[in-house]
């Protein structure tokens, strides 16, 4: 008796939708993260630090001491100059003697109030001027950060869009109205010389992540990547199906009866 012919091979199983969605989600997140980091690095290498006067003022208590931050911003770039608030840095010797003849107060709240009374009206008069009593989500005083080393003043430089993703800082010794030294931390110097108050000819790649902003930008870019990863194959399959081709491999199915698998890749041709 003739031997029975083997059954025809089964077409390969289609990917499980949940597994396919998980792959797209992971790939989109990875591409979103890469896009966020790349955008921040490009901004750091191509954009000069903001040179306009500060438009954001922050005065707050951190680590038991009063601090101030004056921020300037431009598209995708931010500079935050921070320092410890002391009365001798805010007042002239004559003002200090007349207002506090027995010596500067030690209450940090009084220092913050004096600082805000002196500088906040100037900031609010500027276009887009704002004032806060809390630090930003990135930089030296981000949540979970440690106190600066005693006697230091610094500038934090942040880069990224739509949110700050990476940052570095330049520290110097606080000498009242002056800052001595420029110690770069959290950045890779490419060219120029860093300075606490900014250097237009300086190019530095930031290496410190600003986690909230990095996550937010990653999710936004990841959503855009997910749309592309889903939309492009869908449009390609629709185009192939309209021409009578296999949606998976573009094999000509016009001679293949509906319901049979594609002779080339095994995908079902029922949907054509």
Distance (Å, whole) CA 109 – CA 116: 11
User: 127: how many CB neighbours lie within 10 A of its CB?
Assistant: 6
Mean predicted confidence (pLDDT) in 206-228: 96
Q: Using alpha carbons, select from 119, 16, 5 the residue that is nearest to residue 71.
A: 119
Distance (Å, whole) CA 44 – CA 101: 47
Distance (Å, whole) CA 119 – CA 116: 5
* Phi, psi (degrees; rounded to nearest 5) at 140: -60, -35
Q: Is 58 helix (H, G, I), strand (E, B) or coil?
A: strand
Distance (Å, whole) CA 79 – CA 71: 6
CB-CB contact of 256 with 263 (8 Å): yes
Torsion from C-alpha of 223, 75, 60, 99, nearest 10 degrees: -170
Q: Is 51 exposed, middle or buried (0-12, 13-18, 19+ CB in 10 A)?
A: exposed
Mean predicted confidence (pLDDT) in 61-71: 94
Continuous H helices in the chain: 17-46, 87-90, 93-99, 108-125, 211-242
Distance (Å, whole) CA 118 – CA 46: 35
pLDDT tens for each residue of 103-118? 777 888 989 998 999 8
CB-CB contact of 202 with 181 (8 Å): no
- Work out the pLDDT band at 76, boundaries 50, 70, 90: very high
The length of the chain, given as a count of residues: 272
User: 74: how many CB neighbours lie within 10 A of its CB?
Assistant: 14
* Phi, psi (degrees; rounded to nearest 5) at 54: -60, 140
pLDDT tens for each residue of 116-132? 998 999 999 999 999 99
Report the range of poorest mean pLDDT among 6-15, 88-97, 154-163, 232-241: 6-15
pLDDT tens for each residue of 44-57? 998 777 878 899 99
Distance (Å, whole) CA 227 – CA 204: 33
Q: Which is more confident, 183 or 3? A: 183
- Statement: residue 74 has pLDDT above 70: yes
């Amino acid at each position: 008796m003739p031997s029975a012919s083997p059954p025809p091979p089964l077409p390969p199983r289609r990917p499980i939708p949940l597994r396919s969605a998980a792959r797209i989600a992971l790939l989109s997140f990875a591409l979103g993260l890469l896009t966020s980091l790349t955008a921040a690095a490009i901004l750091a290498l191509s954009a000069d630090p903001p040179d306009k006067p500060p438009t954001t003022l922050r005065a707050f208590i951190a680590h038991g001491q009063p601090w101030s931050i004056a921020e300037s911003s431009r598209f995708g770039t931010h500079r935050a100059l921070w320092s410890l608030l002391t009365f001798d840095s805010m007042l002239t010797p004559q003002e200090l003697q007349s207002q506090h003849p027995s010596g500067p107060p030690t209450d940090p709240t009084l220092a913050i109030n004096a600082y805000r009374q002196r500088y906040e009206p100037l900031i609010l008069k500027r276009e887009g001027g704002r004032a806060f009593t809390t630090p930003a989500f990135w930089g030296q005083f981000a949540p979970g950060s440690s106190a600066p080393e005693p006697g230091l003043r610094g500038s934090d430089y942040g880069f990224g869009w739509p949110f700050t993703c990476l940052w570095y800082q330049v520290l110097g010794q606080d000498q009242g109205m002056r800052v001595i030294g420029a110690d770069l931390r959290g950045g890779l110097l490419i060219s120029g010389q860093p300075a606490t108050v900014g250097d237009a000819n300086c190019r530095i790649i930031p290496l410190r992540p600003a986690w909230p902003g990095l996550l937010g930008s990653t999710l936004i870019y990841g959503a855009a990547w997910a749309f592309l990863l889903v939309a492009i194959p869908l449009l390609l399959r629709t185009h192939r199906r309209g021409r009578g081709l296999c949606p998976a491999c573009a094999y000509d199915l016009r001679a293949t009866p509906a319901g049979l698998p594609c002779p080339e890749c095994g995908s079902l041709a029922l949907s054509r």
